[in-house]
Amino acid sequence: MFFAILLPAWVVMNLYIGWRAAAVPLVARHVPRWLLAALVTLLAISYVLARVVDAAGLTLLARPLELAGATWLGVALLTFVTMLAVDVVTAFGFLFRSRAPSLRGWALVAAAILSSIALVQGLRAPVVRDYEVRLAGLPRESDGAVLVFISDLHLGSMLGQPWLAARIAQVSALRPDAIIVGGDVLEGDSPSERELVPALARLSAPLGVWAVAGNHEFYGGGAATLGLLESQGFHVLRNTWTELRPGLVVAGVEPRDSRRESAGGENRIAQALAGRPAGAATILVSHAPSEVEQAAAAGVGLMLAAHTHDGQIWPFRYVIRLQFPFLAGRYEVGRMTLLVCRGTGTFGPRMRLWYPSEILRITLRPLPG
């Protein structure tokens, strides 16, 4: 998918930005075209170049390259959108010919402002979202039980030890009965990320820390990565279930693109729920909000998912919504409640525009009657 769709799109986007930026009068007067082309090219390849440099052991050079490349991912998206908006309004310069060049300059200013806002929002701590969910079959002993759901930490060189320590403290302050982790704990693109894993042992709760795999776990080695998480006290649910307490079941499924998944999404859910106690309140954890209707039909009372990041940077959410109609927040699907977390960390750039990172605090209540 990367080489077939994303790579060509990235090349076209950067070519378009360079082409349109060169037509801005202020840029044309003060920046030679060769320098503009070189700058855009370097920014476009710096994220991948950082991986090559890191593999060669030049970590001190790799980190600034990665920071520049990751940030450019967000800046380029916003610049592309603002520039394209001007071209649509001016019919690519055929309308308002005298004003079109200066409008492109204002588009660059708008992109810079939006990028600055996104950087500030991306560096903020995740917000805590409170939900109360009523579950059929929930025993009285579990009335008021608090679950904390985190997902998509994407730990690595962009989100390291200081950020992780702050998130552990933030989760611990919520005094959860159980912690559920929705996958993509590690970014999965560098062996050095494993140095962050021991700190995860500080996540603890009376009913345990439960997790499912995300797609990034399989980028980083699949079973080996999950084994690292298990070594720090995580209980990884791999298409199976467990009882947090008698009558309260939590089940987890592996992502659809993992090589170990069972054939068909519905079979995957059926496998995860097979043999659970009849009438038990059931929580299903899936990295992505997929097979939602199948989960509801199988008698799941609460489904927890993430993966979408709610697009992370506007207006990318409209692209993500094409694949995931259940994008973020709370949904009622039949008798099942679906909660989709925007992600606790960020993927790629430390940027978020209008859609903050979040931690979900969920209080369980029995259905009345």
In this predicted model, what pLDDT tens digit does every residue of 213-226 receive, in sequence order? Answer: 998 888 756 677 88
> pLDDT (tens digit, 9 = 90+) per residue, 321-331?
999 999 999 99
35, 44, 50, 65, 128 from 71: Cα distances, Å: 20, 10, 13, 10, 25
141-151 mean pLDDT: 97
Per-residue model confidence (pLDDT) at position 261: 42
Q: How far apart are CA 307 and CA 43, in angstroms?
A: 26
pLDDT for residue 260 is more than 60 = no
Residue 17: name the closest of 115, 100, 104 by CA.
104
What would the pLDDT profile of 103-124 be if each residue is shown by its tens digit?
999 999 999 999 999 999 999 9
What proportion of the chain, given as a percentage, has pLDDT over 90?
A: 79
- Bridge partners for 133 per DSSP: 364
Residue 156: pLDDT band (50, 70, 90) is confident
Angle between helix 59-89 and helix 33-55 axes, rounded to 10 deg: 140
Q: 115-119, 213-217, 245-249, 280-284: which has the minimum mean pLDDT? A: 213-217
pLDDT at 258: 46
Instruction: Tell me the domains of the chain and their CATH numbers.
Output: 2-123 (no CATH), 127-366 (3.60.21.10)
Mean pLDDT value across residues 228-237: 93
pLDDT at 134 over 60: yes
pLDDT at 259 over 60: no
Which H or E element spans position 359? strand 358-366
Neighbours of 231 (CB within 10 A): 12
Residue 99, C-beta contacts closer than 8 angstroms, at least 6 positions apart: 90
